[in-house]
C-alpha cells in the first residue's frame, strides 16, 4: 500500500463540532503542531469559499495556531500558481473543507497543487478533510449514490479521487444518512477494497503505519469484503437490488481502531 | 427452533405497494389460497383501525379472496371474545397491519387470540404482518431506537414480541430509515440471535423448513453475530457508541434467501 510514508490523514465524516468541545478540530490543531503550527484551509470544494475560510480561520486562530492561510483555488490555472504551491509546502497541515468532491478532483487533480499535497503527506505533514474533503482522499471515491436505500448494483457513481490513501473507499455522513447500502454496493464491485464509513463529528486518523484510529462522537464502520462468497454485482440490470453474502463489518467508536495492513481491529481503548 | 411447524410467515418491511403491481400483497393472497382463501385483517396496531380495515379489505377482495374479515381488537377483553377467536381459526391468513408494535403485544400478548394465532401457524396457516405487524413476530422486538444514527449500546428499547419466529430479531423500514446501527446494537447484545432487517415493499417469507425467501423491490439484510470477536456492549455507559468486530452481513434481494437453521444464504435465484 504505497503512497503514504510519514504523514497523517485526518478523515472527518462531516459536521464536526465547531462551537462546543471541538474534539476533532482540536486534534487537527494539535497534530499540526499546536501553537507553532500553520494550517492551510483549502476551500475548493465549496461554492462559499470565503465563508468557509473565515469559519475555519477563526476556529484555528482561536485554538492557537500560529498562522492560517485561506487557499481559495476555484480553477485549474490557479492550481498551478507557484505562490500558492510555496505557501502550501510551508504549512504543517492542509485542511480541505466540505462541499462537492468532484470540484476537488476536477479542479485540483493532476495539478502542481495536487503534487504538493502528496509531497507534503510524504514529508510527514497532516492532511485533513471533512465531508467532500474526506471522500476525495481515496483513489476511487463515491460521487453520488442514494441515501437511506437498499443497496443496488450500479446506481452509485464513482470517480477517481486524489489518492492519498490506497486500497480503501471512504464514505461520510455515514449512519446519519443511512449509507451502508451504497458502501456495500461499492465493496461488492471490488471486495479487495476496504470500505470506510465515517459518521458526522467523527474522524478516522490514519498514521504512517496505516493504523486507523477513531475520534469523535460517532463511529467508523469498516466493511471488509474479502470473504464475500457470492454477489450478483456482475449481472446485468443496474437497478436490480444487490445480493451479497458474507461481508464482514466492524464498528469502532473513539479510542478503537483498525489496521489497514493486517485488516484487524485495534480494540485496546486508549485515552488521549 | 421450536414454535413453527407447518405454517408460513410473510414478514413485510412496511410500505408495501398497494396500488400498482402489489407484488407482496398478491403473494399473501396466493399463499392464503387465492380465490378460495379467507383473510383476517387485524388492526390492533393502528389508531385508525377502520381506515386500515377498509384499505386491506378492498385490496384482498379486488385480488379475489373469498372473504375478508376485519378484526378490530383494541383492548384485552375483546382479545378473549370467543366469536372473534372462532373467526380467526377459520381463516387461511391472519394479516397484521402496521402501527405500534407495543399495541399488538400489550393488547394481544397472552390472550386467547394470541394462542389462536400460534395454533393457526402450527396448523399450516399463513401469518402475515407489515411494519409493526412484522416486528412483533420475533420473541424480542425492537420498540424504539434511533434511525440514521451510529449504533449506541443501549439506546434501543426492546420488548417481548409475539414469538412466532424464534432466534431472530426483526427490524423493518430498514434501509429507508437507516436502521443498520440499531440492528447491530441489538445483535451485539446477544450474538446468538440473527438480525433480520427488511426493507419497505419487501417481504421475508419463512416456510415450514425455516427457509427465508425474499420478495419485493428492496432487500433483506441478515446480521449474523456468531463470529463477533469483541464488543463493548457489556460496558457501562449506555450512550457510548458501540464497538463491534467481525459481524457477518448478508444482503438478499428477491429470489434469494437464507436458511435460519443452517444460517447459510440461498443464492439460487428462482422465479415464481
d(CA A164, CA B10): 47
- Cα–Cα distance, A266 to B12 (Å, whole number): 38
Enclosing H/E stretch for A181: helix A180-189
List all residues 6 or more positions away from B64 whose beta carbon is below 8 Å from its beta carbon: B29, B34, B35
Which pLDDT value is given to residue A271?
47
Q: Pick the more confident residue, A146 or B127.
A: B127
Question: What is the pLDDT, as a whole number, of residue A272?
Answer: 42
Residue B247: its pLDDT value, please?
94
Could you report the per-residue pLDDT of A92-144, keeping only the tens digit for each?
Answer: 999 999 999 989 998 999 899 999 999 999 999 999 999 999 999 998 888 87
> In the numeric block, which cell numbers belong to residue B39?
383473510
Question: Are the beta carbons of A139 and A166 closer than 8 angstroms?
Answer: yes
pLDDT score of B132? 95
Per-residue pLDDT tens digits for A210-258? 999 999 999 999 999 989 988 887 665 667 788 899 999 999 999 999 9
- Taking CB atoms within 8 Å and a gap of at least 24, the contacts of B54-62 are B55/B18, B56/B95, B56/B97, B59/B18, B59/B22, B59/B25, B60/B25, B60/B28, B60/B29, B60/B95
Residues in chain B with CB shorter than 8 Å from the CB of A248 are 246-249
Domain count, chain A: 1
- CATH number where A194 lies: 3.40.50.880
- Give the pLDDT confidence score for residue B242 in this predicted structure: 86
Q: Is residue B265 part of a domain?
A: no
Tens-digit pLDDT profile for chain B (272 aa)?
444 467 999 999 999 999 999 999 999 999 999 999 999 999 999 999 999 999 999 999 999 999 999 999 999 999 999 999 999 999 999 999 999 988 999 899 889 999 999 999 999 999 999 999 999 999 888 887 667 777 776 556 778 889 999 889 999 999 999 899 889 988 888 888 899 999 999 999 999 999 999 999 999 999 999 899 888 876 556 677 888 999 999 999 999 999 999 999 998 755 44
Largest CA distance in chain B: 56
Residues of B within an 8 Å Cβ radius of A: 147-151, 174-181, 184, 199, 202, 217-219, 229-230, 232, 240-254, 256, 265, 267, 269
Give the pTM: 0.83
Q: How far apart are CA A154 and CA A184, in angstroms?
A: 11
Q: Are strands B126-130 and A93-96 parallel, antiparallel or unpaired?
A: unpaired
Q: In terms of CA atoms, which chain B residue is nearest residue A188?
A: B251
User: Residue B237: inside a domain, yes or no?
Assistant: yes
Report pLDDT for A254: 95
User: Does residue A1 form part of some domain?
Assistant: no
ipTM for the predicted complex:
0.71
Residue B268 falls inside a structural domain: no
Nearest to A188 by CA among A158, A228, A236, A222: A228
Contact B253 A267 (CB under 8 A): no
Separation of alpha carbons A263 and A258, rounded Å = 7
Give me the phi and psi of B46, to 5 degrees please: -105, 155
Reduced to 3 states (helix: H, G, I; strand: E, B; else coil), residue A147 is coil
| Stretch among A18-22, A262-266, B146-150 having the lowest mean pLDDT | B146-150
Task: Give the pLDDT of residue B81.
Answer: 94
Kindly tell me if the per-residue pLDDT of A147 is higher than 90. no
pLDDT of residue A142: 83
pLDDT score, position A148 = 75
Give the three-state DSSP class for A79: helix
Question: Tell me, what's the pLDDT at A139?
Answer: 84
Give the closest-approach CA distance of A80 to chain B in angstroms. 40
Asked whether the beta carbons of residue B219 and residue A150 sit closer than 8 angstroms, the reply is yes
**The predicted structure's pLDDT at residue B271:** 47
Does some domain include residue A219?
Answer: yes
Q: What is the pLDDT at residue A192?
A: 83
Q: Hey, what's the cell of A263?
A: 485488516
| Residue A265: inside a domain | no
Indicate yes or no: CB of B245 within 8 angstroms of CB of A232. Answer: no
Q: What percent of chain A has pLDDT over 70?
A: 93
Containing structural domain, residue A161: 8-259
- Tell me the longest C-alpha to C-alpha distance in chain A: 56
Residue A264 belongs to some domain of the structure: no
Which residue stretches of A49-96 are H helix?
A: 49-63, 82-90
Instruction: Give CA–CA dist B103/B181, Å, rounded.
Output: 24
Annotated catalytic residue A173: yes
Q: Where are the beta strands (DSSP E) in B81-232?
A: 93-96, 126-130, 140-144, 157-160, 168-171, 194-198, 202-206, 211-216, 219-224, 230-231
Pairing label, strands B157-160, B140-144: antiparallel
On chain B, the residues whose CB falls within 8 A of the CB of A265 are 229-230, 245-246
Say yes or no for a CB contact (<8 Å) between A251 and B184.
yes
Overall average pLDDT of the A62-81 stretch = 95
Inter-chain contact A217–B241, Cβ cutoff 8 Å? yes
**What was the pLDDT predicted at B69?**
96
Question: Which residue of A219, A243, A250 is in closest CB contact with B256?
Answer: A243
| Contact across the interface for B249 and A199, Cβ inside 8 Å | no
Angle ∠(A30,A33,A34) on CA atoms, nearest 5: 55
Specify if A272 maps to a domain.
no
Angle at alpha carbon of residue B195, lines to B193 and B196, rounded to 5°? 135
Which among B79, B89, B84, B162 has a CA at the least distance from the CA of B123? B89
Residues in chain A with CB shorter than 8 Å from the CB of B148 are 148, 175-178
Cell, residue A129: 478533510
**Residues of B designated catalytic:** 131, 149, 173
Mean pLDDT in chain B? 90
- Crossing angle of helices A82-90 and A112-122, in 10° steps, is 10
Amino acid at each position: 500500500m504505497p503512497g503514504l510514508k510519514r504523514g497523517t490523514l485526518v478523515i472527518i465524516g462531516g459536521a464536526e463540532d465547531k462551537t462546543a468541545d471541538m474534539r476533532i478540530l482540536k486534534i487537527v490543531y494539535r497534530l499540526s503542531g499546536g501553537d507553532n503550527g500553520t494550517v492551510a484551509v483549502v476551500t475548493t470544494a465549496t461554492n462559499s469559499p470565503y465563508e468557509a475560510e473565515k469559519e475555519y480561520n477563526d476556529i484555528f486562530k482561536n485554538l492557537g495556531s500560529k498562522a492560517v492561510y485561506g487557499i481559495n483555488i476555484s480553477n485549474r490555472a490557479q492550481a498551478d500558481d507557484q505562490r500558492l504551491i510555496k505557501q502550501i509546502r510551508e504549512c504543517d497541515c492542509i485542511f480541505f473543507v466540505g462541499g462537492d468532491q468532484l470540484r476537488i478532483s476536477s479542479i485540483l487533480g493532476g495539478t502542481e497543487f495536487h503534487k504538493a499535497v502528496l509531497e507534503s503527506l510524504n514529508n510527514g505533514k497532516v492532511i485533513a478533510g471533512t465531508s467532500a474533503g474526506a471522500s476525495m482522499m481515496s483513489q476511487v471515491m463515491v460521487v453520488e449514490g442514494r441515501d437511506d436505500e437498499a443497496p443496488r448494483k450500479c446506481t452509485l457513481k464513482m470517480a477517481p479521487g486524489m489518492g492519498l490513501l490506497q486500497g480503501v473507499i471512504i464514505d461520510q455522513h455515514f449512519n446519519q444518512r443511512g449509507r451502508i447500502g451504497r458502501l456495500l454496493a461499492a465493496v461488492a464491485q471490488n471486495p479487495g477494497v476496504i470500505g470506510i464509513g465515517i459518521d458526522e463529528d467523527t474522524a478516522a486518523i490514519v498514521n504512517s503505519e496505516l493504523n486507523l484510529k477513531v475520534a469523535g462522537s460517532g463511529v467508523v464502520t469498516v466493511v471488509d469484503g474479502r470473504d464475500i462468497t457470492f454477489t450478483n454485482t456482475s449481472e446485468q440490470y443496474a437497478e436490480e437490488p444487490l445480493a451479497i453474502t458474507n461481508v464482514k463489518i466492524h464498528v469502532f467508536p473513539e479510542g478503537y481502531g483498525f489496521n489497514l495492513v493486517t485488516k484487524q481491529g485495534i480494540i485496546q481503548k486508549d485515552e488521549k
